[in-house]
Chain A
Amino acid sequence: MRPVSRWIIYLTLVVALLCHLFPWGGRGIILRPVFMFVVLLYWLLRSPHLCNIGTAWFAGLLVDLATGSLLGQHALSFTLAAFVGVSYQRRLVLFNAWHLMGYVFLIFLLERVLLLLLKLFAGNENPGWHFFLPILTGILLWQSMIFVFGTITRPKSR
């Protein structure tokens, strides 16, 4: 695992924001992954000295502004989920690919549950089970992130 440049991280986060801004329409929108959180979690688990809970908070704020939801909603859910993610970050070296995927799945789930709770408290209607579909597409995006930028777990050869 090579150390990464700070600029690569910011560039990918900007690309993720662009994906949020993309004019999504039709039925497929319920499948849309939370791009920002997937990219963020990857960098958070890989190099937490460059991308940490503060970055998560700021990224969440940008998503809030871009989606027009209550300011701080995504920021809070990203912050809390990133905290759980980063707390076990040092143990990830011992994980294999499947364990890692399960771990990431749980954190995505946590992010969704937190956001759902915040939305319900803010007075939105119950969105139903579709709300959790982005987790699955998020996992796919996660795997492609690993494919492009390299794995987080221990290399196979050792």
Chain B
Amino acid sequence: MLKGVHQKLEPQQSPAFFVRGASPFSRMMLYSALSIVMMAADARWNYLSTVRQAFIGALHPLEMLANAPSNWVRDTKKYFTAHNQLVQENYLLKQQAFEHQVMLQRLSTIQAENIHLRSLLNGNLPIQPKAILGEISHTGRDPFSNVVVVNRGSSHGIKPGQAVVDSKGVIGQVTRVFPYSSEVTLVIDKQLSIPIQIERNQLRAIAFGEGNNTLDIPYLPANVDIRVGDKLVTSGIDGIYPAGLAVATVTKIQQNPESPFAKIISTPVAEVTNHLQLLLLELPEVKESEIKPHEPEAKETAAKAVEKAPAKQKDKKTHASR
């Protein structure tokens, strides 16, 4: 039967010298126009996100097939791990767990004290976010985008906008959710900004991703009190990232005499390339409409936040209680 189909499709045995159909130019124009329309529909109006989700969902079996060889290699490697390596690791982990337990004992008393003090001051209680453990399935198919794909999706209750952290610090934010996986944009991406605080002096600012594994803190005056090596932690005023998570360390400060602002470069602390496990923090109870990860208004709010920065001691409380 197949043979009959071929004969119908290939009238000549010669390689298509005469069978050409519509001219390549007209085809090119048609398909280019189609792709330009699609790009506009995708970028401007986000019409195609449901199409994408359905496709990724349908592609899941194929993805599993593609993942199978590397999973297999990983599992066999795990099986043949040497005995003494495991013993050593076990010893180290026990030591770590002991240290952490001692620290946790202090933490619980301090937390109780903090809650008590806050209730004395009539302040709001801090939010305790729940978290879902996920694993990085691959670091994005496009090597030039700052994205990792995690093996938890909408079927596990993941929502776009969730903050993602690892044991060292903040990794980024969930930007797209598919049925069995979700896409996490790293903090270094150009489209992402994160409200931060300098650990040393509690100065609040907003850090913007720059690509090339760096973050930039714009709109800070040239004489700002920031030094190389300062740790940046989340300030928690956005309601997405809980306060106090490590984000980055300042690596370079450039003062340009022509500009009133300092150029402050920092590198993120999270080790996306080294670990597989990460935590997806649940969003706090806020109205859905208030959370939009890719908002161009972020820059405006950043500018405003910096304007307010000198008066930070006064309005700090109001921000924290929001």
Contacts and interface: CB of A to CB of B under 8 A. Distances in A.
A80 B24 CA distance: 10
B211 A70 contact: no
B110 to A, nearest CB: 40
B190 A123 contact: yes
Contacts of B6: 3, 5-6
Interface in B13-65: 13, 15-17, 19-21, 24-25, 27-28, 31-32, 34-39, 41-43, 48, 51-52, 55-56, 59, 62-63, 65
Contact of A125 (B24, B63, B190): B190
Contacts of A53: 24, 27-28, 31
Nearest to A127: B144
Nearest to B49: A71
Contacts of B86: none
B31 A22 contact: no
A23 interface: yes
A70 B49 CA distance: 10
Contact of B52 (A20, A46, A71, A122): A71
Interface in A66-111: 66-73, 75-76, 79-80, 82-83, 86-87, 90
Interface stretch (B135-143, B193-201, B217-225): B135-143
A71 B39 CA distance: 5
Interface residues of A, number: 57
B63 A83 contact: no
A52 B28 CA distance: 10
Given A47-B16, A79-B35, A68 B142 contact: yes
A57 B190 contact: no
Contacts, number: 146
A4 to B, nearest CB: 9
B8 to A, nearest CB: 11
Contacts of B137: 23
Contacts of A22: 66-67, 70
A118 B190 CA distance: 16
Given A83-B24, A83-B25, A73 B212 contact: no
B204 interface: no
A131 interface: yes
B267 to A, nearest CB: 16
Interface string B122-158: 0000000000000001111111110101000000000
Interface residues on B, range: 35 or more
Contacts of B9: 6, 50
B25 A24 contact: no
Contacts of A26: 273
Contacts of B13: 3
Given A72-B36, A90-B17, A24 B31 contact: no
B183 interface: yes
A67 B55 contact: no
Contacts of A70: 39, 42-43
B66 A23 contact: yes
A69 to B, nearest CB: 6
A57 B34 contact: yes
Contacts of B38: 61, 71-72, 75
Interface of A: 1, 3, 5-7, 17-26, 29-30, 32, 46-50, 52-54, 56-57, 60-61, 65-73, 75-76, 79-80, 82-83, 86-87, 90, 118-119, 122-125, 127, 130-131
Given A53-B24, A68-B141, A71-B51, 19 more contacts: A3-B13, A5-B2, A21-B59, A21-B62, A23-B67, A25-B139, A47-B16, A48-B16, A54-B27, A60-B35, A71-B38, A71-B48, A72-B35, A72-B42, A76-B32, A79-B28, A83-B27, A125-B212, A131-B144
30 contacts: A3-B13, A3-B15, A5-B2, A7-B2, A21-B141, A22-B70, A23-B70, A24-B139, A47-B15, A49-B21, A52-B24, A53-B31, A57-B35, A61-B35, A65-B55, A65-B56, A71-B38, A71-B48, A72-B36, A73-B35, A75-B31, A75-B35, A76-B39, A82-B28, A87-B24, A118-B39, A122-B39, A123-B190, A123-B191, A125-B211
